[in-house]
């Protein structure tokens, strides 16, 4: 059993190749492993301490506990509307950096990044208004978010603010909630609109 970053979670793996180095106090084992669920290949490393038999496990690349949404990659696939593409690309690069910070345990940087990302999304849609609250008001008024989302967006912005100015260290769970909020705001703008357009083209029209 080993973590798989595609299946997200522990899965049975097949060992493709294995080697070991015998040191004075430890045995270091390296294995190329293949996920039996999706076929993803990664490397497992195991250090066994001879004096008490205890084991340290590590995996490369580091396993992820959360996957980036599919629409993040649309920039590379050329699936954004031409008019949105440049702005959307900048935001998708930032979102990917945030994910990398979360995977690397850099939770403060991730929280600050999320705050900056939400601000950039609002600026893209309603312009650079003086305060966060002005932007939130306009963002809600123009129909990009509901009243409920406005509340959770405000709370998410505050996490980034506290990390930036008050030394607050968010947990992985805090970041998961913040990413749920970010994706909930961004998916209808960047993901669903294009997907729904493609869907509408495939569905036969109603008879008049």
Binding site for Zn ion (CB under 5 A): 4, 6-7, 35, 37-38, 40
Half-sphere exposure of 114 (CA within 13 A, CB side): 35
Q: How far is the CB of 32 from Zn ion (least distance, A)?
A: 14
**What are the structure tokens assigned to 113, written together?**
């990044």
For the stretch 166-199, what's the b/e string if a residue is b when 16 or more beta carbons lie within 10 angstroms of its beta carbon?
Answer: eebebeeebbeebbebbbbbbeebbbeebeeeee
Residue closer to Zn ion by CB (options 66, 125) is 66
Closest C-alpha among 137, 101, 104 to residue 116: 101
| CB of 37 vs Zn ion, minimal distance in Å | 4
Phi/psi region, residue 66 (left: phi>0; alpha: psi -120 to 50; beta: rest), is beta
Cβ 110 to Zn ion shortest distance, Å? 24
Nearer to Zn ion, 38 or 196 (CB): 38
Minimum CB distance to Zn ion smaller for 1 or for 203: 1
CB of 2 to Zn ion, least distance (A): 10
Q: Are 25 and 49 in contact (CB under 8 A)?
A: yes
- Which residue's CB is nearer to Zn ion, number 38 or number 155? 38
């Amino acid at each position: 059993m080993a973590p798989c970053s595609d299946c997200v979670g522990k899965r049975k793996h097949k060992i493709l190749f294995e080697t070991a180095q015998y040191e004075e106090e430890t045995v270091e084992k390296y294995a190329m492993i293949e996920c039996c669920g999706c076929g993803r290949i990664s490397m497992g490393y195991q250090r066994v301490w001879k004096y008490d038999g205890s084991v340290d496990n590590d995996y490369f690349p580091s396993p992820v506990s959360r996957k980036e949404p599919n629409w993040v990659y649309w920039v590379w696939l050329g699936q954004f509307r031409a008019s949105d593409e440049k702005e959307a690309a900048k935001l998708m690069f930032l979102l990917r950096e945030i994910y990398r910070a979360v995977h690397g345990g850099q939770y403060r940087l991730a929280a600050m990044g999320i705050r900056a990302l939400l601000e950039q999304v609002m600026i893209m849609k309603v312009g650079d208004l003086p305060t966060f609250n002005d932007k939130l008001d306009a963002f809600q008024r123009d129909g990009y978010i509901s009243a409920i989302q406005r509340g959770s967006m405000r709370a998410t912005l505050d996490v980034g603010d506290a990390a930036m100015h008050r030394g607050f260290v968010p947990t992985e769970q805090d970041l998961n909630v913040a990413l749920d909020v970010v994706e909930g705001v961004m998916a209808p703008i960047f993901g669903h609109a294009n997907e729904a357009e493609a869907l509408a083209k495939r569905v036969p029209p109603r008879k008049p």
